[in-house]
């Protein structure tokens, strides 16, 4: 087993990995930027090293510095968390060249899944259903429009090097295609330094369902069931749950075995996630594979009882999976809420500042994974995720009920956050009935409803404030004239009630 792990990340996920190290008796080494000198992850780790200035490019994304630090402090392995270097094949190669173990899949698996067209081709070869469309980048405009006409509109133009919603464009007719083709190409080139784009049939109002898979370096594979991740706003997930109440046993069997096939197809080891779109008829299509630990991994941990981060470390150290597929089953229901530093009343603009109060909720079936504590600074330099609140119960209703209680118990002051918005979702009857897809937030008009509610609430508050001010002014006015002491000095004249 490893003696020391360097954690190349920050915030809640760095804290999560530190805790796994602690349980395994492994020394945890954190890195922190100048903006994170006073941070939970740096203070909880056994060792912590200043890596550079606040901007990520000079700290958490400084590849050379991270690898040379790992060598210097004799770390046996590096855990990348999510984001940053977690899906960077070049980083994996350099870490391995330095004689350090990367806690994740091989560079080859990361690269294979990094190209969306190559991944689609591979999936097709291994009988994993893909969205109808091309498995090669489109060569030119003529090739593109011909293909789009064959597939039938609407179609989606996607960047081969993209993912997570970046570099996508919906096209509803051949007329639209002309402009969109070059624009998408330009955007792809700018964002990914690669202008290859491909075409998919546009799936209307799908659900976003992903399957957690895990594999060791000895050829053992297992899935840890699915997560329902449809509740999102502009590609930012807000609420995830496991299992999906939309799946029947038969569909679950099909989608999880498709996910295992996907993992086998790219020679995968460690934890990974296969993303699918699912339509009303329960047809599912491979979207992409995330070759990392995901933000929402806790819901899977709570329904299976498996510690994914510990398992990742075991696998990286060469151990076999600590369980077999037959040994795991779904127990109860888990839901995760992402607590973001953002202002739902103001277009969800990222919020920043010092957390005056940050008191996590607790109680039966409640887990809080936070990267911060009272006194922490929330910086504009990084991801706005402050904490994840995860509830578990025997059934979905119970998990929702515990979540609502925990959200109301969470005390945050100093930094604006999305808790009131989350409560709007949990109290929505369609959400409660499991009747939603990836367009839920928009279709329910929740953003506007919330902002309107706030506007009317603000208007009411303004009216109350105005009334109070008027009363104060009335009371103040006579006082300033009449309240005189017996020695004749008007001691109130200094006070102004304007
Ligand atoms: C799609 C789609 C509909 N049809 N592909 C967005 C993120 C990226 N991973 C793929 N995405 C989508 N691809 C086809 N052919 C709709 C989306 C999509 C989406 C997918 C998952 C979760 C949230 C989403 C929000 C908007 C669009």
Q: Over the stretch 16-39, which tens digit does the pLDDT of each residue have?
A: 999 999 999 999 999 999 999 999
Distance, CA of 8 to CA of 67 (rounded, Å): 10
**Contact at 8 Å (CB) between 41 and 371?**
yes
Specify the DSSP element, H or E, that contains 210. Answer: strand 207-215
Distance 416 CA to ligand 1 centre (A): 29
Active-site amino acid positions = 292
Distance 392 CA to ligand 1 centre (A): 28
pTM over 0.85: yes
**Does the pLDDT value for residue 221 go beyond 80?**
yes
Encoding tokens for residue 184? Answer: 């998408």
CATH number of 207-449: 3.30.470.20
Question: What does the pLDDT read at residue 481?
Answer: 32
Question: What does the pLDDT read at residue 412?
Answer: 98
Strands (E), 116-174: 155-163, 166-171
Residues lining ligand 1, Cβ inside 6 A? 131, 156, 163-165, 200-203, 206, 208, 232, 235, 277, 287-288, 438
More confident of the two residues 166 and 311? 311
Question: What does the pLDDT read at residue 155?
Answer: 97
337 Cβ contact partners less than 8 Å away, ≥ 6 residues apart: 238, 239, 388, 389, 390, 403, 407, 422
Q: Whose CA is nearest to atom 22 of ligand 1?
A: 208
CATH for 132-201, options being 3.50.50.60, 3.30.1490.20, 1.20.1090.10, 3.30.230.10: 3.30.1490.20
> What mean pLDDT, rounded, does the chain reach?
92
Q: Whose CA is nearest to atom 17 of ligand 1?
A: 165
pLDDT interval class at 474 (50, 70, 90)? low
Residues of the chain with CATH 3.30.470.20: 207-449
Residue that has been written with the tokens 């109808």 in this structure: 132
Residue that has been written with the tokens 């038969």 in this structure: 250
**Contact at 8 Å (CB) between 103 and 313?**
yes
Could you tell me how many residues make up the chain? 498
Residues of the chain with CATH 3.30.1490.20: 132-201
Mean pLDDT within 481-489: 32
470 Cβ contact partners less than 8 Å away, ≥ 6 residues apart: none
Distance 165 CA to ligand 1 centre (A): 6
**Contact at 8 Å (CB) between 81 and 382?**
no
Distance 225 CA to ligand 1 centre (A): 21
Distance, CA of 274 to CA of 280 (rounded, Å): 19
* Mutation choice for ligand 1 from 134, 151, 168, 294, CB with most ligand atoms inside 8 A: 168
Cα distances (Å, whole numbers) of residue 68 to 51, 72, 459: 11, 6, 57
pLDDT interval class at 438 (50, 70, 90)? very high
Domain 4-103 of CATH type 3.40.50.300: no
What is the residue-wise DSSP string for 466-497?
A: HHHHHHHHHHHHHHHHH---TTS--TTTT---
**Does the pLDDT value for residue 479 go beyond 60?**
no
Residue closest to 135 by CA, chosen among 153, 151, 162, 116: 116
Q: Whose CA is nearest to atom 15 of ligand 1?
A: 202
Cis preceding linkage at 243, omega within 30: yes
Q: Whose CA is nearest to atom 7 of ligand 1?
A: 165
275 Cβ contact partners less than 8 Å away, ≥ 6 residues apart: 208, 209, 210, 286, 287, 288, 289, 290
**Does the pLDDT value for residue 200 go beyond 50?**
yes
Distance 173 CA to ligand 1 centre (A): 19
**Does the pLDDT value for residue 494 go beyond 60?**
no
43 alpha carbon, distance to own chain's centre? 24
Mean pLDDT within 183-209: 93
User: Helix (H, G, I), strand (E, B), or coil: what is residue 386?
Assistant: strand
**Contact at 8 Å (CB) between 415 and 353?**
yes
pLDDT interval class at 484 (50, 70, 90)? very low
Q: Whose CA is nearest to atom 14 of ligand 1?
A: 202
């Amino acid at each position: 087993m490893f003696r020391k792990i360097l954690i190349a990340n920050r915030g809640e996920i760095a804290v999560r990995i530190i805790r796994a190290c602690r349980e395994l008796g492994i020394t945890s080494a954190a890195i922190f930027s100048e903006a994170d000198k006073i941070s939970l992850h740096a203070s909880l780790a056994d060792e912590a090293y200043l890596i550079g200035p606040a901007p990520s490019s000079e700290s958490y994304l400084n590849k050379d510095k991270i690898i040379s630090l790992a060598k210097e402090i004799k770390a046996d392995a590096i855990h990348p968390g999510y984001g940053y270097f977690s899906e960077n094949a070049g980083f994996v190669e350099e870490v391995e060249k330095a004689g350090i173990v990367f806690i994740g899949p091989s560079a080859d698996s990361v690269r294979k899944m990094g190209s969306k067209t190559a991944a689609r081709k591979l999936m097709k070869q291994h009988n994993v259903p893909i969205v109808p469309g091309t498995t090669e980048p489109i060569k030119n405009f003529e090739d593109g429009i011909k293909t789009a006409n064959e597939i039938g509109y609407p179609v989606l133009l996607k960047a081969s090097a993209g993912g997570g919603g970046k570099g996508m464009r919906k096209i509803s007719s051949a007329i639209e295609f002309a402009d969109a083709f070059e624009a998408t190409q330009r955007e792809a080139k700018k964002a990914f330094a690669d202008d290859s784009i491909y075409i998919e049939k546009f799936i209307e109002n799908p659900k976003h369902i992903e399957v957690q898979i895990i594999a060791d370096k000895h050829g053992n594979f297992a899935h840890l069931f699915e997560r329902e991740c449809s509740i999102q706003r502009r590609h930012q997930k807000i609420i995830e749950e496991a299992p999906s109440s939309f799946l029947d046993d038969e569909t679950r069997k099909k989608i999880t075995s498709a996910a295992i096939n996907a993992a086998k197809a790219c020679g995968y080891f460690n934890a990974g996630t296969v993303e699918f779109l699912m339509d009303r008829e329960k047809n599912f299509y491979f979207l992409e594979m995330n070759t990392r630990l995901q933000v929402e991994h806790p819901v899977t941990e709570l329904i299976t009882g498996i510690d994914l981060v510990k398992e990742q470390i075991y696998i990286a150290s060469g151990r076999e999976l600590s369980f077999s597929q037959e040994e795991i089953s779904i127990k109860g229901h888990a839901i995760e809420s992402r607590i973001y530093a953002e202002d739902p009343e103001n277009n969800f603009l990222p919020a920043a500042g010092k957390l005056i109060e940050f008191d996590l909720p607790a109680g039966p079936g409640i887990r809080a994974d936070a990267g911060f504590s009272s006194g922490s600074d929330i910086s504009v330099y990084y991801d706005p995720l402050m904490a994840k609140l995860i509830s578990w119960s025997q059934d979905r209703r119970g998990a929702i009920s515990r979540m609502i209680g925990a959200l109301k118990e969470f005390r945050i002051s100093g930094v604006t956050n999305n808790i009131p918005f989350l409560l709007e979702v949990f109290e929505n009857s369609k959400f409660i009935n499991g009747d939603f897809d990836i367009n839920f937030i928009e279709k329910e008009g929740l953003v506007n409803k919330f902002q309107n509610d706030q506007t009317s609430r603000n208007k009411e508050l303004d009216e109350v404030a105005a009334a109070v001010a008027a009363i104060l002014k009335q009371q103040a006015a006579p006082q300033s004239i009449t309240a005189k002491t017996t020695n004749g000095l008007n001691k109130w004249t200094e006070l102004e009630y304007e």
